[in-house]
Amino acid sequence: MRWTEIVGTLMFATMAAGAQQSPPPVRQLPQLPTVPTIPAPAPPPGVQPPRFLVVIDAAHGGNDIGARIGDGIQEKDVTLGLAGRLRSTLRARGVDVVMTRTADLNLAAANRAEDANHAQASACLTIHATATGSGVHLYTSSLTPAANERFLAWGTAQAAYVTQSMKLESEIDTALAHAAIPVTLGKASVAPMDSIACPEVAVELAPLVGGHVTSTKALTDVSYQKTVVDAVAAALDQWRSDWKP
């Protein structure tokens, strides 16, 4: 027998056996249309969803002592202490924090902006202190608001975030008002504010001048600093609630 005849016989036998085992045909009911389900796209490997992160920049440091507050107190030390307290308070509230410096070291303005931009933060605060004025001074960039584009010029990157910065400033202002701390709002040109690509507010702490609802408190008064830190942390908590990545 030739091999082609053997193969043909085997195929015929297989088809005949399949016809005997298959059930009789059943009339199928028409199926209702179903909503197609789209599987959720899995995040690409190595990419994490955006998280709420706050960058705190303690101004000055190292050879740059900042303002002389008085009695041997230098601004760089006050800002570092205040930034540390704010970091602790925010972490207690479950907010991730990155500080540009945690020790007394020289740090150029460009490096501070670089660190803040690299962190892709949801809010950036620069902490300052001065012996002049009363209460807390809040400053945002003096740049004209501009559209957020893929590439931002280094010197004017903040322009794309000025509107958000002013909203953040408003949140902090409200929280400080609830804490009965006098606030002055303004616009300023202070490095590295204009190069930071995130909602950015400069918080400058001044002594509290006594009045009808406030009592005189020194810049280094711990209870005064705690009141301010708690208010700013509450504002950032509120900012997180409103935050949309």
Partner 1 sequence: MISRFQKFLFFAMLVACVGMAAFLIRLRNRAQDRLAAQAAAAPAEMAETATSAQKTVTLYVPNDLDDSLIAFDRNLSLPEDRNAQARVILAALVEAYRAPGSTHPMNVASGINELYFLPVRQAKDGAGNAEQMAVVDLSGALAAAQPSGIEPETLTLLSIMATLHANLPAVTQVHFLVDGQQRETLAGHADLTRTYLAGDEPNFQRSASIDPQEPGARPSALGRELPASGFQLPASRGGR
Counting contacts by CB under 8 A, is residue 113 touching partner 1? no
Owner of token pair 């902090």:
172
- Window 175 to 234, contacts with partner 1 (CB under 8 A): 177, 180, 182-191, 194, 202, 204, 206, 209, 211-214
Q: 127 - beta bridge partners?
A: 58, 203
Spatial CB neighbours of 230, under 8 Å, sequence gap ≥ 6: 89, 179
Asked if 163 interacts with partner 1 (CB under 8 A), we say no
Please tell me the distance from the alpha carbon of residue 195 to that of residue 57, in angstroms, as a whole number.
13
Helix (H) or strand (E) holding 232: helix 222-242
Kindly list the distances between the CA atom of residue 178 and the CA atoms of 21, 142, 174, in Å, as whole numbers in the listed order.
83, 27, 6
Instruction: Kindly state the smallest distance separating residue 173's Cβ from partner 1, in Å.
Output: 9
CB of 202 to partner 1, least distance (A): 6
Binding track over 35-64 against partner 1, x by CB under 8 A: -------------------------x---x
Given a contact cutoff of 8 angstroms between Cβ atoms, the answer to whether 82 and 76 are in contact is no
Contact with partner 1 (CB under 8 A) among 155, 221, 222, 226: 155
- Residues within the interface to partner 1 (CB under 8 A): 60, 64, 66-68, 75, 128-135, 137, 139, 142-144, 155-156, 177, 180, 182-191, 194, 202, 204, 206, 209, 211-214
